Amino acid sequence: MKDYLIALEEIIEEQRQRIKRMEESSPLDLTLVPTIIVGIIPGDGIGPFIMDHTKKVLDHLLKEEIEEGKIEFRNIEGLTIENRAKEGKGLPPSCLNEIKKCHVLLKGPTETPDARANVMNIESANVALRRELDLFANVRPVTIPQKNIDWIFFRENTEGEYVLGSKGIELEGMALDFKVTTDRGTERICEAAFKYAKAKGNLKVSIVTKANIMKKTDGKFLKICYEVAQHYPSVPADDWYVDIMAANLLNPNRQSEYQVILTPNLYGDILTDEAAQLQGGVGTAGSGNIGDRYAMFEAIHGSAPRMVKMGRGKYANPSSLLKAAEMMLNHIGMTDKADKLKAALDETAKAMKMTGKGDGNTGEDYVTMVLSKI
């Protein structure tokens, strides 16, 4: 058999195994866990800067819970670009081992070198973590009250273009990448979105695909979304192609029509950056990566290595990671603490001018104000 056919066989078998694991997985009830272990991963570039600020706020907010042993923060070492490049792995096994001993993770951005980089072309740590911990729902809220925008994206986080992103095939004169959509992988993200929409008083769910072109994969996604919708008759649902959705999200006459936005992986990646930009930039958005067993909360932006090289790390806006921390507090059931943090963040955001350079406020200014408002 030709090499590429053998590779394809392997890929399909791997996906079958993944489907089996998805079907066997069952959720962990965090309310039954006596000490919730929160793994702290600072990341690269501006990551350690914004993590220091965020950790300070969490230590203050959770002082009692830490003392009572209800929460333990644990530093995860070695998930840095230097160490990952040295080991030649996007996610070194020793890091993954430590990470798996935690319940939830708070993560700063990690650098993903592309094919042009001088370091080895390793896999994205994000993609590896999402896959290894099976964090299937990427939940990204974007709110702009003055424009009546209150969106929450449910982005499928483990399949689509990402699952085989590092396993494309190159043949003479051509390159092929693969996109994978499974029944179970789609059902579980749809269930998460519809369940959320129902719990929040029957918000509308807007499904985003390009099912007119990606007929098999997006076709399946769209079909399964509407099947799941049938179990939630009180939740309104509609669907859009991703191109017009990208336009509508920018259209002032349509923006407030949307509430829950349910999307496959890559479209969700792109639309959430667009949405975050409307909110004030990618530095302002937090995100949750939720699975049955683990959950990881992070900023949606990259590590901005250029900013650090130019000595501007101290001007990095920590609000993305602070918002991720707020989502984490909600996830572990500490909703009163999350509300307190949210109120402090909303007030601080109004007062601070974060330009990322010397003409604006520093991360330190930001966090000092957040702490004063809690």
Helix axes 47-61, 335-351, angle to 10 degrees: 130
Which span sits near ligand IPM by CB under 6 A: 25-33, 34-42, 89-97, 123-131? 123-131
> For Mg ion, which residue has the nearest CB?
269
Which span sits near ligand IPM by CB under 6 A: 45-53, 120-128, 217-225, 345-353? 120-128
Q: Applying CB under 6 A, does 321 fall inside the site for ligand IPM?
A: no
Measured from the CB atom, the residue of 300 and 332 that comes closer to ligand IPM is 300
Q: How near is the Cβ of 287 to ligand IPM at its closest, in Å? A: 7
Measured from the CB atom, the residue of 44 and 269 that comes closer to Mg ion is 269
Binding mask 239-278 for ligand IPM (x = CB under 6 A): ------------------------------x---------
127 makes contact, choosing from Mg ion, ligand IPM, none, with CB < 5 to 8 Å by partner type, with ligand IPM
Measured from the CB atom, the residue of 269 and 326 that comes closer to Mg ion is 269
Q: How near is the Cβ of 157 to ligand IPM at its closest, in Å? A: 8
Q: Applying CB under 5 A, does 269 fall inside the site for Mg ion?
A: yes
Among positions 38, 62, 122, 124, the unique one binding ligand IPM when judged by CB under 6 A? 124
| Integer Cα distance of 145 and 231 in angstroms | 31
Among positions 262, 300, 316, 322, the unique one binding ligand IPM when judged by CB under 6 A? 300
Measured from the CB atom, the residue of 156 and 269 that comes closer to Mg ion is 269
Which span sits near ligand IPM by CB under 6 A: 119-127, 175-183, 185-193, 204-212? 119-127
According to DSSP, the residues that pair with 298 across neighbouring strands are 107, 287
The full 3-state SS of the chain, as one line of letters, equals CCHHHHHHHHHHHHHHHHHHHHHHCCCCCHHHCCCEEEEEECCCCCHHHHHHHHHHHHHHHCHHHHHCCCEEEEECCCCCHHHHHHHCCCCCHHHHHHHCCCCEEEECCCCCCCCCCCCCCCCCHHHHHHHHCCCCEEEEEEEEHHHCEEEEEEEECCCECCCCCCCCEEECCEEECCCECCHHHHHHHHHHHHHHHHHCCCCCEEEEECCCCCCCHHHHHHHHHHHHHCCCCCCCEEEEEHHHHHHHCCCCCCHHHCCEEEECHHHHHHHHHHHHHHHCCHHHCEEEEECCCCEEEEECCCCCHHHHHCCCHHHCCCHHHHHHHHHHHHHCCCHHHHHHHHHHHHHHHHHCCCCCCCCCCCHHHHHHHHHHHC
Which span sits near ligand IPM by CB under 6 A: 121-129, 166-174, 248-256, 307-315? 121-129
Q: How near is the Cβ of 108 to ligand IPM at its closest, in Å? A: 12
Number of residues that bind ligand IPM (CB under 6 A): 6
Binding mask 53-92 for ligand IPM (x = CB under 6 A): ----------------------------------------
Q: 76, 66, 73, 71: which is closest to 100 by C-alpha?
A: 76
124 makes contact, choosing from Mg ion, ligand IPM, none, with CB < 5 to 8 Å by partner type, with ligand IPM
- Residue 241 Cα to chain centre, angstroms: 22
126 makes contact, choosing from Mg ion, ligand IPM, none, with CB < 5 to 8 Å by partner type, with ligand IPM
> For ligand IPM, which residue has the nearest CB?
124
Structure tokens at 148: 């009546």
Q: Applying CB under 6 A, does 209 fall inside the site for ligand IPM?
A: no
Q: Applying CB under 6 A, does 158 fall inside the site for ligand IPM?
A: no
Contact residues toward Mg ion (CB under 5 A) are 269
Contact residues toward ligand IPM (CB under 6 A) are 112, 124, 126-127, 269, 300
